[in-house]
Structure 1
Amino acid sequence: MARHPVINQALKKPTPNHGTQQAQAAPLVHNGRPVEQLDMKAERDAVFSALKSSGKQAHATSDFCTTRRLRDVLTAGCRILHCSGHGFSYLDQSGRQQSRLAFEDGEGGTHALEVSNLLALIWAGAEGDERPPLDLAFVSACHGGPYGEAFAAAGVPHVVAVRRQEQLQDKAACLFAEQFYHALFMGRSVKQAFTIGKQAVANQPHIVRPGEEAHKFMLLPVDGDHSEVLLRNLPPGQLKWVSPPRCAHNLPAFRPLQFIGRQVEWQRLVAAACGSQKRLLHLIGEAGTGKTSLTLAAAHYVLERGTFAGGILYVSAAGATSIAALSRLIVAAVAEANRGSGRAGEEDEPTGSSNDELPFALLRHRGACLLIIDEWTMPCDSTVLSSALWVRALGSLLERAPDLRVLLSGTHSLALPGVARLELGLMAMPDGDVARLFKELSPRAITRSELGCDEPAALKAEIVSLLRRLGRTGSPLERFTVLHDAGATDGSLPLRVQWAVQDAEAAAALRSELSSEKSLLHFEQPPPETSDRHLVWGYLSLTKVLAKHPVIAALRGSPKATALAVGLLAPSLGSGRSLADLAGLLSALVIDDPAGLIDELGRVSSREQFDRPRVHAREWLCV
């Protein structure tokens, strides 16, 4: 699955600086479809922790990876390259399995590189050199095997990669990289470091099927001599982390792995913010549709990539009923951002020449800057004249601060004459995303048994439906077997299905059908020890079955209503409310719109919180 450090570790011959250039690729969409978000911070921290604990003199930097940035790193003398990110597998016109490695395109999308294009990028300028372009290549990505084999064929003496068609767990990738680089920097050979990394994964209790995960890593060339110690002469010292400075900002905290859904809209906002065409971005949606969360997601994405050198300013405009009130909030946001970046006391200019103007004097000399005005709405009692004043104030701000972008979020549209803008409307979230959010926020585990995921009748019905769909596509199955999954980690024994298919093309067709919204089945790769590679494994997906539950439909695609509803599952002294009981409670709330549902759920939650029995600590200890 994923990571994109381009690790510029060290040269064979010691130089004053032995460093790590870590460049990660985290695109949001690929071909218009969401890309799974990976724990980039965990891997970055793991690699830097390994370098620091080695006690060797080195410097480390972190950045996000476009092909241009990768070429910059190689030109600067990178000798150890660690590519960490998504890999994609597909069938070409001749039916052969091919792979692409995902880089970022600079606008939140994916730049997928073929093996040949990546190698050409790496080899550029290396003609006539006596040594290969790299000493070590580490491709930590799903379907990274072909890239590893290509690096080995190009003469790179040591290549770590993930086997063909294998998907890699985040935890396994992070642990292997940490242990591998720690051993390498401690003076171990490449082979020793590789063995240490594999054994660390194989014996980690918090990784699902750790032995299988460890088997996914391979060291190429298979018959190569990997006894070389690449970093034998590193001097002792401290790790120096030379990370590119972040711009000034006052953004609230945001955790990308807890942001579910909306990735297509997320990427559109990022692309508009990074592009040169739109200066006013307007996010519109009803209350509770997730406007603030999406705004913060886009803002943090461009913050990490240094898109706005002049800073990113966040203003919550709820309750700002006048231009003067909004001006004071912007001035406060500028001051907070300056304090956070060590620029306190700068730009203490007047807020504007009158109460009808926004503080352009604070913003026009900052350079490229993004101003976020969240929860903005025209005052309810606005007259035609006062509405015109608001429009004029925003238009004047953009005119007098030419490098400024403004991102508004609110419930109503706003047109500024002569200003290029992107207007993005947020609709209700799909039931699948609501189910994922519901499961993530739930205060207790949603079990397979309460959803009936492992009832033979439910599994039979889904298999029959699948066979009908496959019959229409002309992709017959040779056989299938139903069995219990003894490797489940949640204490349950989910019913699994093993399908045998004719060839790789039929397997790809079956996986595609299982990945569709029509199927409640989830597929996984066959175990590595399986001799027949034309097998597909699957089981009823808890999340997909939950998406069909009445409780999800009752939430009407509202993220805020979902966050309130899951709180009603919290146990007090008993076992907590069941999903069926919650569905009944929600259906009893006769509400016409999501905003009313949110208000009613807020009242129910407050009442239950107030009525919940209070138990002293001593009583808990006696239970």
Structure 2
Amino acid sequence: MSNPLQILALLSDPLLNPNGQPVDRLGLDQEVSRVRRQLAALNRAADLHLLIATPDNLLNTLRDHGPFDLLHFTGHGSDGLLAFEDGQGGTFPLDAMRLQAIFTPLGQPPCQVAFLSACHSESMAQALLAAGVPHVVAIDGDMAVFDVAARAFAAHFYPALLAGKTVRQAFEFGRAAVLTDPDTLKACRLEAGRNPALAELVNLLTGQQLPPPDALNRLEALKFKLLPEPPSPLGRGVGGEGEADPHAIAPFPTVPTGPLTLFDLPPYPETLGASLDYFTGRAADWRHLIGLVRERRLTTILGFGGMGKSALAREVGRWFARRNLFPGGITFIALGNRARAEEARLTIAAELKLNPAVTESDRSLARALPPDSLLILDELDSLCAEEPRPTRALFEALRDYSPAHVLATSRQATGAAGEQRYELVHMPAATAEQLFLRLAYERVSEIRGSRAELQEVLQFLDGYPRAIVQAARQMFSPDLSALLADLRRAKEEILHDPDLPPEELRDHESVLITLNSSLRRLQQRDPDAAAFFPLLAMFPAGLSEAGLVEIFGPAARRQVRTIKELSLLELSAPLDYYYLPAPVRSFAERRLPATALGQYGPAALSHFSRLAGELASLLTSGQIELGVVLTSLELPNLYYWLDWGYDGEQTTGDEACLTARITASLRNFYTMMPLLRAEAQQRSQRALASAFRLQDRAGQANTLQSLGDLAMRVDDLKGAAQRYEAALTLFSQIDAKLG
């Protein structure tokens, strides 16, 4: 061999699977970097071509550069499929038939050696074998593999091949690397702790008694398969004659000395900065934005300060850059300290190194932007607040006259016609937990505490990324109880970077500073809306628009919409309630007027009495699952107002005690929720006392009936009979009076 070895590395890292669910990220950059270092150290001439694995990319590369000596695929897999990318952030499930069709036009094998570094890839190896590839490494068809194990294998398999070893020898070098790799052993230790039964099963099947981490480490090495397998055990053919091992040959015995030449993916633009190690949990948002940015000229990510808008915009930019989907360039421009549209024009021109003359007007700047480029304009908050009309005009010009696409981030929209708005809301609970634990482990080596303590911490952080980051930084000791005590005492006020003096903290380093700056903008924009904002703290589960009008009147619609426009609340799924994440609600609650509960309590109780009745009717009409789910979602609001109403409600007379009516409406819900039985008993007793205080016999009767139902649930037949009898007496008195 006199020419450099030709290696094609196909990399697939989709954000979502075909069902729209987030996919675990694989850390492709780390794998490629490790293999590249190992190959470069050999001083063997090789060309390493990196390619994002889409069917179109593979067809084009085989046409222009194929065949290759080595083919490597890194990505996800399942039985009979490799997870290629679809070019939009999603998954293209490539089956054996389609993979074979891609290889067919070559008229010869696409490579000499292939490694399918994907879970369950053994079934897909058949497509490569059918295409004439003599040596294929794949993962056992029934098993998944640790990413770290696949990296360790590749980092020693390929260098052994380039060093002139046989395929069998290179394969065994790879397996040995899996058994001796510290990261793989660490992953096996964690898995042994989670799944001790698996280690026992491995020992049973192998007839050995290895420690659980070692048993799983051995299993991990055995998952790698070299295909085709010999027709019989090596060295023992039929009749005692040994069969030749098809892999006992060195396909590249004389690779010339020389450098490793890398044909890399397009680089990340410097303006995007370094990727956050802890960026997680936004795959669906990421995928959605990829589609919007490609389809629309102007897209704005909206959300609370600290919700992760800038980080998400940067990651979208990185994704596009690696796939060269904006060949005119991708530029991230921070506009957070720009309050005038003219200043924004000058900053954009300077970052893009344009002639300053183009900043004379919005249109001239727009026309001067590079074609097929993406501009990420970050933090438009001051621009939108200080100069809303000029800012709108600038962005309309960028949309109408620019050959570039624009992705912006802001707490409020620019108002430009045709602006595509994307609202970023708080993270799902599972993702928030993952992020908090990952960051906390960077501060302390272990975390001590109960599951209940962790849940209380996460409940307060409520999926708010900046709050999660700053709470993790408050982990000065491994004990969750210490952090929890601080959160109970100071709440959002402790959510800041503890490594900086208070006077030096900036917006992104403190939740409190972020919220104060948002509130100041709201006060400047609409003082009435700013005065209304604290009232939303009275609804921990959020509030529907119908409830908003019932409790506060039609004028509240305008105020709440203004608050939402400045990203101080969000619409929460699945009910589209106006909702404050817990740290924001705590911030608002500190500003709640002392008279607010008494002023709005009667209207709130009236609204929730009606709503509780509707929820109860779902349970009695057979829509049990829906009724339980909706009641559970509403429960924080019901409890908040019941806790006030048990002592604060004032109207007297039959049917007057709304707290008793609401509590009684929860009767059927409580009977289906055994874990809430003690809560139900306590609240029913308080409701009964409230009904007596307000001289509401109907309320007393309904509550006694609820207490009777609860007694029946614990087989207290005597107690149930007493309460039912007392309720019946009251109902009879009310009927006699009505008659």
- So what's the TM-score if we normalise by structure 1? 0.68
Q: Give me the whole-angstrom Cα distance separating, in 1, the residues matched to 2:14 and 2:393.
A: 37
How do residues 8-157 of structure 1 correspond to structure 2 at under 5 angstroms?
14=1, 16-30=3-17, 31-75=19-63, 76-79=65-68, 80-88=70-78, 98-126=79-107, 129=108, 132-157=109-134
SS class of match (1:309): coil
| 1:186 to partner: Cα distance | 0.7
Specify which structure has the higher proportion of strand.
Answer: 1
Could you say what the CA RMSD is over the residues aligned between the two structures, in angstroms? 2.6
Distance 2:385 2:247 in 1: 75
Tell me by how many angstroms 1:603 deviates.
8.3
Q: 1:394 aligned to 2:288?
A: no
How many angstroms apart in 1 are the aligned matches of 2:249 and 2:105? 26
Aligned twin of 1:434: 432
1:358 deviates by 7.2
Question: Residue in 2 aligned with 1:367?
Answer: 371
Give CA deviations for 1:573-598 in whole Å, capped at 9, x if unaligned.
xxx262123223213336xxxxxx3x
Contact 1:327 1:358 in 2 (8 A): no
Matches of 2:136 and 2:498 in 1, distance apart? 58
User: Within 1, Cα distance between the matches of 2:464 and 2:269?
Assistant: 33
**C-alpha distance 296-156 of structure 1, shift in aligned 2 (>3 A):** same
Is 1:280 paired with 2:298?
A: yes
Deviates further, 244-253 or 105-114? 244-253
One of 292, 298, 301 as aligned partner of 2:319: 301
What corresponds to 1:587 in structure 2?
Answer: 488
2:72 partner letter: H
Separation in structure 2 between the aligned mates of residue 195 and residue 381 of structure 1, nearest angstrom? 64
2:250 aligned residue:
229
Any idea what the Cα deviations from partners look like across 1:162-218, whole Å, max 9, x if unmatched? 102222112211111111110100111111111111112112233224322211101
Q: Which amino acid aligns with 1:370?
A: L
Structure 2 Cα separation of the partners of residues 360 and 281 of structure 1: 16
After superposition, the Cα gap between the structure-2 partners of 1:18 and 1:109, relative to the gap in structure 1 and judged at 3 Å, is same
Residue 512 (structure 2) aligns with = none
- Structure 1 residue 269, shift from structure 2 partner: 1.2
When residues 246 and 155 of structure 1 are mapped into structure 2, their CA distance, relative to the original with a 3 A threshold, is: closer
Higher helix fraction (1 or 2): 2
- Take 1:396 and 1:206, find their aligned partners in 2: how far apart are those partners? 52
For residues 36 and 136 of structure 1, the distance between their equivalents in structure 2, rounded to whole angstroms, comes to: 27
Change over 3 Å in CA distance of 1:606–1:240 after alignment to 2: closer
Q: CA deviation at 1:449?
A: 5.6
In 2, Cα distance between the equivalents of 1:398 and 1:100? 41
Counterpart Cα distance in 2 of 1:600 and 1:247? 35
Q: TM-score, normalised by structure 2?
A: 0.58
Q: Which amino acid aligns with 1:164?
A: G
Higher relative contact order (CA 8 A, sep 6+): 1
- Is 1:410 the counterpart of 2:416? The answer is no
Could you give the per-residue CA deviations for residues 451-500 of structure 1, whole angstroms, max 9, x where no partner exists? 36xxxxxxxxxxxxxxxxxxxxxxxxxxxxxxxxxxxxxxxxxxxxxxxx
Conserved? CA contact 2:336–2:382, under 8 Å: no
Q: Does 1:602 align with 2:602?
A: no
| Gap change, CA 1:552 and 1:357, over 3 Å in 2 | same
Structure 1 residues not aligned, in runs of 5+: 1-13, 89-97, 336-346, 453-544, 571-575, 591-596, 611-623
Number of the residue aligned with 1:312: 330
- The secondary structure found in structure 2 opposite 1:151 is helix
CA contact (8 A) 1:101 1:112 kept: yes
Tell me the CA shift for residue 555 of structure 1: 0.7
Q: 1:608 to 1:584 in 2, by over 3 A?
A: farther
| Paired residue total | 456
Alpha carbons of 1:608 and 1:323: their partners in 2 closer, same or farther (altered >3 Å)? Answer: closer
| Distance change in 2, residues 1:100/1:422 (3 Å) | farther
- C-alpha contact (below 8 Å) 1:561/1:601 kept by paired residues: yes
Residue identity opposite 1:34 in structure 2:
P
- 1:358–1:393: 8 Å Cα contact kept in structure 2? no
Gaps of at least 5 residues in structure 2 are: 189-215, 231-244, 505-739
Describe the superposition over 1:215-234 as per-residue Cα deviations: whole angstroms up to 9, x where unpaired. 11011111151112111232
Paired position in structure 2 for 1:211: 218
User: Which residue of structure 2 lines up, in the alignment, with residue 6 of structure 1?
Assistant: none
In structure 2, the residue matched to 1:458 is none
For the residue of structure 1 that corresponds to 2:470, the secondary structure is helix
Larger Rg: 2
Amino acid at match of 2:455: H
TM-aligned CA distance change 1:147 to 1:447, over 3 Å: same
- Does the 8 Å CA contact 2:278/2:439 hold for their aligned counterparts? no
Q: 1:260 aligns with which of 280, 292, 309?
A: 280
Aligned-pair distance for 1:563? 1.0
